[in-house]
Amino acid sequence: MTGNVDIEKWLIVDQVPNLGPAGFARLLQWVDGDINHLFQQTHANLLQAGLDAEQIHALLNPDAVLLQKSLHWLNVNPLHFVLTIQDPLYPVALAQITRPPALLYGIGQLNLLSKSQLAIVGSRNPTVSAKEVAKRIAQQLAECGWVITSGLAIGIDGLAHRGALNADSATIAVLGTGIDIMYPRRHQRLAEEIIDKQGCILSEFSPGTPALAANFPRRNRIISGLSMGTLVVEAAIKSGSLITARLAAEQGREVFAIPGNINNPLVKGCHYLIKNGAKLVEDINDINEEFQTLSFMAKNNCEKKPEKSTEQGLATDKLLDSVDYEVTAIDVVTERSGLPLEVVTATLLEYELRGLVATVSGGYIKLGG
């Protein structure tokens, strides 16, 4: 990685207001990629380079407190790192997108960034069935050798990370805040588990950057940019997940979506994606078959023939068959099964413990796979 002397200059440029990835790239191009040359320019030359007076002042008179804060964060823990876009360890897939981040702040295993990643994103308030699907499919993909990448948000993002961890696999979380701010706070422990299990947390934002709405779309382009494909699990038409999917398509990456009940507004985004070319996903085979050239896919031969699930083994179970994948009232289950209420409630409790059904407001739902 870049030495501390050089990294200071990158951190100073990163302080320049309203510069952004595109502006940073233009400056680097202007000095033929030599960031040291940038600090040898006169005020007049920097004006010619396209910087305004405020930006030039920030470059020539950097905020020493902010600079030291970033350097302290970098040096306080051996798991902390900063990658510049010129670093040979910078992820190749991310470098290929439009306006890649000039700097990546990270915690954890740097080598993970070069492995094959699959992004999983979706609603922050998913249905019970979507929660189960997200966690299960993330676990199965991780078991196949994929690195699961997401945004540490509540809902589908967090469940995707959890599914990967359940497979004892590493996962990558990309933040929309400064690298030292785990957002949302309720996922602080999840972030710690990701690091403990040899995962990685990334951000293009320097330490201390708060949770600003404008920064999350920038976070999304990194999630899709790192990944070979993006899977959307439940998303409304107007959602950050659809932004991630659009960015993935623009970046030339695969887009996948899980369909759902047409009456559920949270699946309208997925159906929109499918109508516009995203691949419909029912199980991980639908994803893996798009990447047969990957070496780990050939070795693992993942899920060529799905194993018979517990639910399928109980296909003749009248009680289980009486529960729908949507909310089913207890009296409906009792009527359909023809069993006494006390038998129904006792058996459903057993099935819930076995992960076959879940209790929700208004009754029960059947869980998949």
User: Where does residue 324 rank: exposed (0-12), middle (13-18), buried (19+ CB within 10 A)?
Assistant: middle
Q: What is the pTM of this model?
A: 0.86
Q: How far apart are CA 108 and CA 199, in angstroms?
A: 6
Residue 4 is predicted with a pLDDT of 55
Residue 325 is predicted with a pLDDT of 76
Q: Which amino acid is at 247?
A: L
Q: How far apart are CA 290 and CA 105, in angstroms?
A: 31
Low-confidence ranges of the chain (pLDDT < 50): 305-316
Can you name the CATH fold of 110-300? Rossmann fold (3.40.50)
The C-alpha angle 187, 167, 182, rounded to 5 degrees, equals 15
Helix 240-250 vs helix 268-275: angle between axes, to the nearest 10 degrees? 20
> What is the maximum alpha-carbon separation in the chain?
87
Residue 336 is predicted with a pLDDT of 86
**Which residues fall within 8 angstroms of residue 97, CB to CB, at 6 or more apart?**
221, 225, 251
Is 286:293 a contact under the CB 8 Å cutoff? Answer: no
* Structure tokens, 37: 């040359």
Residue 311 is predicted with a pLDDT of 42
* Unique residue bearing structure tokens 């209790």: 359
Is 8:67 a contact under the CB 8 Å cutoff? Answer: yes
> E strands within the chain?
80-84, 103-108, 117-122, 147-150, 171-174, 200-203, 229-233, 254-258, 279-280, 357-360, 363-366
* Unique residue bearing structure tokens 């400056």: 27
Can you name the CATH fold of 310-366? Arc Repressor Mutant, subunit A (1.10.10)
Query: Residue ranges per domain, the chain?
Result: 1-76, 110-300, 310-366
Is 85:75 a contact under the CB 8 Å cutoff? Answer: no
Q: How far apart are CA 243 and CA 235, in angstroms?
A: 10
Q: How far apart are CA 311 and CA 309, in angstroms?
A: 5
Residue 75 is predicted with a pLDDT of 97
Residue 367 is predicted with a pLDDT of 82
**Which residues fall within 8 angstroms of residue 236, CB to CB, at 6 or more apart?**
123, 265, 266, 268, 269
**Which residues fall within 8 angstroms of residue 350, CB to CB, at 6 or more apart?**
none
Beta-carbon count within 10 A of 296 CB? 13
